[in-house]
């Protein structure tokens, strides 16, 4: 009997749905700390992933599909999966609501000087210094216009912002007023009062935001990074803040995590730091499970997986 091995403990109703969709499969739920290499090698489908699973998974002659419980897949052995004809799907779309809301939480905090007020509160000081602006009428440049980028653009329009998108294909998107390919970042960035990075990590996006990229930006722009830490050259970012190219930055991801305690970003008054939590939400598991169930229906019928099938040639 083929096996579905999951790190995630599905609730009773979803267990019922899995057994109804795939009655010929055995469902095994084993916490990652307890899973053995033998169990991994026996599995036909893996739900969830941990780097400790990699060797056993690549040794397996049974494995056909891995459903990641994350949207980012840059840490998977995609080249080896391609060689072994193992399909990989991710949890893309799960983060659209929490991350787009996080983007506006930090953007409004910077615009209305809430981060400055909170620091004053911690010192017990009644201080009204700082700048108090508005985001209505500003131009937001969204770099990476997938699920999260689309949700972010929709919110931006609700706040009365103009939206500019950057994507590899340059294909138009709803709620994006003007779209550019990645070759057009000079023109796109020059328009941005706010630049939002939502890029996945690939060979092409590593240090996408470097000294040259920041140099294209409008003086005084704000930068929000909820994509991947390695897509930003940290030294170039700090230089852009120090020279006034950027008036502020909100950073949820970093090249090195956790961010070292002595890192200069911690003490900058023009930076808002969150510890890689933009995608956290109480609804995460339920949404990821819906993606798995939809894919499972197709898998048992021998059909193409309909949701979030990773293209190994693109690495996302």
Query: Which pLDDT tens digit goes with each residue over 199-244?
Result: 999 999 999 999 999 999 999 999 999 999 999 999 999 999 999 9
How many separate helices (H) and strands (E) can be counted in the chain? 11, 12
Does residue 263 have a pLDDT over 90? yes
Q: Which of 83, 134, 257, 269 is catalytic?
A: 257
Write the Ramachandran bin of 217: left for phi over 0, alpha for psi from -120 to 50, otherwise beta. beta
Residue ranges per structural domain of the chain: 3-93+282-300, 96-273
276 catalytic residue (yes or no): yes
Residue among 139, 119, 137, 138 nearest 129 (CA): 119
255 catalytic residue (yes or no): no
Write the Ramachandran bin of 46: left for phi over 0, alpha for psi from -120 to 50, otherwise beta. beta
Q: Which of 102, 150, 167, 228 is catalytic?
A: 228
Does residue 299 have a pLDDT over 90? yes
Does residue 198 have a pLDDT over 90? yes
* Poorest-pLDDT segment among 49-53, 66-70, 132-136, 174-178: 49-53
Same fold, 3-93+282-300 and 96-273: yes
Kindly report the CATH class assigned to 96-273.
alpha beta
* pLDDT, averaged across the chain: 96
pLDDT value of residue 172 = 95
Assigned fold of 3-93+282-300: Rossmann fold (3.40.50)
Instruction: State the alpha helices, DSSP H only, in the chain.
Output: 12-21, 37-42, 54-59, 78-84, 96-111, 114-123, 147-158, 185-189, 211-215, 234-242, 284-300
Statement: the pTM of the whole predicted model exceeds 0.95? no
Residue 9: pLDDT band by 50, 70, 90 thresholds?
Answer: very high
pLDDT value of residue 190 = 98
pLDDT value of residue 94 = 95
Residue 75: pLDDT band by 50, 70, 90 thresholds?
Answer: very high
Does residue 32 have a pLDDT over 90? no
**Which uninterrupted H or E stretch holds 221?**
strand 221-225
Q: Which of 154, 206, 268, 276 is catalytic?
A: 276
pLDDT value of residue 300 = 98
Does residue 303 have a pLDDT over 90? yes
228 catalytic residue (yes or no): yes
Percent of the chain with pLDDT over 70: 100
Does residue 133 have a pLDDT over 90? yes
Greatest CA separation for the chain: 68
């Amino acid at each position: 009997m083929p096996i579905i091995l999951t790190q995630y403990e599905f609730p009773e109703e979803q267990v019922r749905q899995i057994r109804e969709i795939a009655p010929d499969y055995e469902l095994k739920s084993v916490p990652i700390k307890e899973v053995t290499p033998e169990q991994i090698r026996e599995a036909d489908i893996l739900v969830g992933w941990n780097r400790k699973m990699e060797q056993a998974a690549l040794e397996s002659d049974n494995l056909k599909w891995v459903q990641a419980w994350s949207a980012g897949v840059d840490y998977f052995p995609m080249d080896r999966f391609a060689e072994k004809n193992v399909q990989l799907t991710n949890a893309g779309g799960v983060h659209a609501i929490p991350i787009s809301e996080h983007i506006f939480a930090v953007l409004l905090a910077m615009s209305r000087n809430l981060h400055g007020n909170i620091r004053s509160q911690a010192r017990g000081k009644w201080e009204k210094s700082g700048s108090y602006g508005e985001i209505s009428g500003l131009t937001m440049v969204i770099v990476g216009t997938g699920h999260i980028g689309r949700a972010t653009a929709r919110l931006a329009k609700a706040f009365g912002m103009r939206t500019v998108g950057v994507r590899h294909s340059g294909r138009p998107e709803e709620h994006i007023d003007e779209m550019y390919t990645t070759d057009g970042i000079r023109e796109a960035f020059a328009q941005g009062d706010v630049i939002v990075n939502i890029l996945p990590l690939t060979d092409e996006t590593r240090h996408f935001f470097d000294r040259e990229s920041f140099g294209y930006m409008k003086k005084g722009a704000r930068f929000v990074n909820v994509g991947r830490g390695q897509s930003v050259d940290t030294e170039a970012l700090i230089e852009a803040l120090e020279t006034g190219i950027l008036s502020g930055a909100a950073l949820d991801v970093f090249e090195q995590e956790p961010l070292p305690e002595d890192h200069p970003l911690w003490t900058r008054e023009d930076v808002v730091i969150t510890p890689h939590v933009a995608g956290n939400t109480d609804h995460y598991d339920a949404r990821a499970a819906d993606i798995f169930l939809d894919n499972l229906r197709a898998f048992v019928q021998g059909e193409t997986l309909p949701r979030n099938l990773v293209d190994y040639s693109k690495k996302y």
